[in-house]
Amino acid sequence: MHLEPRKHFAYNLFMERPFDTVRAQSGKPSEDTHNPQVIIISGAIGSGKGTVVHALVHELGFTWVPTHTTRPMRRDDPALSQRVFDTETTFLRHLARGEFIESVEKGGNRYGLLRHDLERELRAGKPVIIEMGAEGGIKVNQSYPNVMLIFLLTDEKVRRQRITARSMNNAEAEKRMKEAVAEEKLAREHYDYLIENIEGHPEEAIEAVKNIVLEQFSTIQHK
């Protein structure tokens, strides 16, 4: 099947690997109507993932699949994230049992997605959304059908300001900046869409993501 390359969106959306082309190359169809849609939203630290995901859950009715972490809860977590805050012991128990689809350690904290949490929601037959790192998104894409990978970009200056606001020391802040560069590089190689989340205008990234999802997954309806 011949696939025409899509045009680039304006200022805030970089489609370096059009979605349909990626699916054709990987052997996956652009839409699998027999399985629930899985939308992965990733981005480096300070990219505003939680704000975007929260809006999509509200506007498109996605089920937000929780991820697990050992990091301390932040003030905005109840409103802008869907996390289970595990003790180190509990997290390591899950890890030892092989219950995570993926797990990583960043900034001295552990993060992971439990297979049970995702598959429970998929069995319900409704579209799901997951906020996770790029490496985890790639693993989910390799393991499940009907996955769309979206990565949020942010300006380096803005990222540094947001990292600084989290009261990290200089060494930790620099480490997280380097991790962010590496994660963005990984996303550029493997993700379907890269969207710039412009400081002060999250509604533009939200609208771009929403339009992509509604276009590519015809069974999803705007609420």
Contacts of residue 38, Cβ cutoff 8 Å, sequence gap at least 6: 118, 122, 127, 128, 129, 130, 140, 144, 146, 147, 148
Tokens of 78: 């109840």
Q: Is the pLDDT of residue 212 over 80?
A: yes
Q: Is the pLDDT of residue 83 over 60?
A: yes
CB burial readout 56-69, b (16+ within 10 A) else e: beeebebbbbbbbb
* Euclidean distance between CA atoms 102 and 113, whole angstroms: 6
97 three-class SS: coil
Confidence band (pLDDT; 50, 70, 90) for 4? Answer: very low
The per-residue pLDDT for 96 is 97
Highest mean pLDDT among 62-76, 86-100, 154-168: 86-100
The per-residue pLDDT for 164 is 73
Whether the CB-CB separation of 48 and 197 falls below 8 Å is answered with yes
Residue of 26, 15, 20 whose CA lies nearest to 1 = 20
The per-residue pLDDT for 18 is 39
Confidence band (pLDDT; 50, 70, 90) for 25? Answer: very low
Taking the complete model, does pTM exceed 0.85, yes or no?
Answer: no
Highest mean pLDDT among 77-81, 168-172, 219-223: 168-172
Q: Is the pLDDT of residue 6 over 50?
A: no
Q: What pLDDT digit, counting tens, does each position of 36-62 carry?
A: 789 999 998 878 888 899 899 999 889
Using CB atoms within 10 A of its CB, is residue 87 exposed (0-12), middle (13-18) or buried (19+)?
exposed
If you average pLDDT over residues 187-213, what whole number do you get? 92
The per-residue pLDDT for 210 is 92
The per-residue pLDDT for 5 is 32
If you average pLDDT over residues 55-79, what whole number do you get? 86
Sign of the torsion formed by the C-alpha atoms of 199, 205, 206 and 207:
positive
Tokens of 215: 């276009």
The per-residue pLDDT for 168 is 73
Q: Is the pLDDT of residue 10 over 50?
A: no
Q: Of how many residues is the chain composed?
A: 223
Q: Is the pLDDT of residue 94 over 50?
A: yes
Residue linked to tokens 């900034």: 107
Residue ranges and CATH numbers for the domains of the chain are 13-66+127-216 (3.40.50.300)
Residue 77 has phi, psi (to 5 degrees) of -60, -45
If you average pLDDT over residues 104-117, what whole number do you get? 90
48 vs 211 pLDDT, higher one: 211
* Euclidean distance between CA atoms 127 and 200, whole angstroms: 29
Mean pLDDT over each residue of the chain, to the nearest integer = 80
Q: What pLDDT digit, counting tens, does each position of 128-148 carry?
A: 999 999 999 999 999 998 899
156 three-class SS: helix
DSSP state of 190: H
The per-residue pLDDT for 128 is 94
